[in-house]
Amino acid sequence: MGFVKWRAIALILALLCVPAVSAQFYDWTGTWDTSYGQMVLQQSGHKVVGGYSYDEGRIQGTTNRGRLVGVWSEAPSYKPPDGAGDVVLNMSKDGRTFAGKWRYGTSGGWSSWTGTRVSNSITSGNSNSWSDVHEGDHFLGVVEMGKFRLLKPYSPLGSPRLTNIPMQAAQPPESAELDLTEYEGRSIMVSGHDSGGWIYSARVTDEAGPILTSVVLEVFDRGDEKDIGFDLYLPS
């Protein structure tokens, strides 16, 4: 076998022995200057949540290899078709920019959304700062006659009102109070920030059916939630 052929084989073997280069890690955490205002995002595993300044916007989704697929939502309704919809963002390989698209609801035409990273950390500077858009505290309660009766944590207020408005915003909380009609008679989990009889930046994160709601009410009416370790149902 000639020298050239031996050299070719040796090169192939050498390449096979080189450790595989790990896939590039994309992290959305940081502050971005976007076509819809400043946006702050935080990534935990594959989950990304955050907010942006335009119409007190919120964004949440999952990411894989720098591609973020999720949902945007904006005040006052935070609901489709006019206040929420699909979003797809693709981060550049250097992690400095993204280019993507969004649409109303889950159908129809797409519009572009671009951004440039300002910082790898989360900074505030508008009413929709990170403290207003992260998961916040969690509250367990039941909707009775359109009101949210708080079960846990205990509060002498009994029935705080829920609003989409962030705590630091200039608007009165009544201007975006949540309509709980669809949850009547059910126990729900709410995330947000409580102050002065209101839960600000409120978002319903989970809902129980009639059977589980009956169990929840029976447990709390007896005061046995600690005996059965009910704290496990509340995220830390």
Q: Are residues 108 and 156 in the same domain?
A: no
Question: Cα(235)–Cα(230) distance, rounded to whole angstroms?
Answer: 11
Domain end call among 101, 120, 139: 120
Greatest mean pLDDT range, 47-61, 174-188, 196-210: 174-188
Alpha carbons 122 and 9: distance in angstroms, whole number: 51
Per-residue b or e along 68-107, where b marks 16 or more CB atoms closer than 10 Å to that residue's CB: bebbbbbbbebebeebbbbbbbbbeeebebbebebbbeee
Tally of CA atoms within 13 A in the half-sphere of 184 that contains its CB: 5
- Tell whether 145 and 204 lie within a shared domain: yes
Question: Dihedral angle at the C-alpha atoms of 20, 66, 112, 96, nearest 10 degrees?
Answer: -90
Based on the fold, state whether residues 34 and 92 are members of the same structural domain. yes
Asked whether residue 7 is assigned to any structural domain, the reply reads no
| Residue 199 contacts residue 193 (beta carbons within 8 Å) | yes
* Residue 75: predicted pLDDT: 83
Last residue in a domain, options 120, 155, 184: 120
The arithmetic mean of pLDDT across residues 160-167, rounded, is: 84
Q: Which residues pair with 144 in a beta bridge?
A: 147
d(CA 82, CA 103): 10
196 vs 10, more confident: 196
Secondary structure (DSSP) of 44-79: ETTEEEEEETGGGEEEEEEEETTEEEEEEE-TTT--
Output the pLDDT for position 183.
92
112 shares a domain with 142: no
Residues 71 and 97 grouped into a single domain: yes
Q: Is residue 215 located within the same domain as residue 142?
A: yes
Task: Find out whether the peptide bond into 160 is cis, omega within 30 degrees of 0.
Answer: no
Residue 132 has what pLDDT? 43
pLDDT given at position 23? 42
Section 181-209 average pLDDT:
86
At residue 226 the predicted structure's pLDDT band, cuts being 50, 70 and 90, is very low
66: closest CA among 87, 42, 85, 94? 94
User: Which residues constitute the domain of residue 48?
Assistant: 30-120
Res 7 pLDDT > 80: no
User: Is the per-residue pLDDT at 161 higher than 80?
Assistant: yes
Q: Is residue 19 part of a domain?
A: no
Give the CATH number for residue 64.
2.40.128
Q: Where among 71, 97, 120 does a domain terminate? A: 120
Mean pLDDT over 67-88 rounds to: 88
Q: Is residue 6 part of a domain?
A: no
Question: In the predicted model, is pLDDT for residue 56 greater than 60?
Answer: yes
Percent of the chain with pLDDT over 90: 27
Q: Which pTM does this prediction carry?
A: 0.49
The reply to whether 43 falls in a domain is yes
Has residue 22 been placed in a domain? no
Question: What is the tally of structural domains in the chain?
Answer: 2
8 in a structural domain: no
- In a shared domain, residues 87 and 161: no
Residues with Cβ within 8 Å of 151's Cβ and at least 6 positions away in sequence, in order, are 140, 141, 142, 187, 216, 220, 225
Q: Is the pLDDT of residue 76 over 70?
A: yes
- What backbone torsions phi and psi does residue 188 show, to the nearest 5 degrees? -135, 155
The reported pLDDT for the residue numbered 169 is 67
My answer on whether 146 and 108 are in the same domain is no
Q: Torsions phi, psi of 132, nearest 5?
A: -95, -15
218 within a domain of the structure (yes/no): yes
Of 30-44, 88-102, 198-212, where does mean pLDDT reach its minimum?
Answer: 198-212
Per DSSP, helices labelled H in 76-117 are: none
Q: What mean pLDDT value characterizes the chain?
A: 77
- Pair (113, 140) in one structural domain: no
Query: d(Cα 75, Cα 69) in Å, to the nearest integer?
Result: 21
pLDDT digits (tens, 9 = 90+) for 140-150: 889 999 999 98
Residue 13 lies in a domain: no
> By CB neighbour count within 10 A (0-12 exposed, 13-18 middle, 19+ buried), where does 125 fall?
exposed
Is the pLDDT at 236 greater than 80? The verdict is no
Instruction: Looking at the structure, tell me whether residues 108 and 144 fall in a common domain.
Output: no
Same domain, 138 and 229: yes
Range ranked top by mean pLDDT from 19-28, 80-89, 222-231: 80-89
Among 7-16, 25-34, 62-71, the least confident range: 7-16
Check residue 125 and give its pLDDT.
Answer: 45
**Mean pLDDT, to the nearest integer, of 132-153?**
78
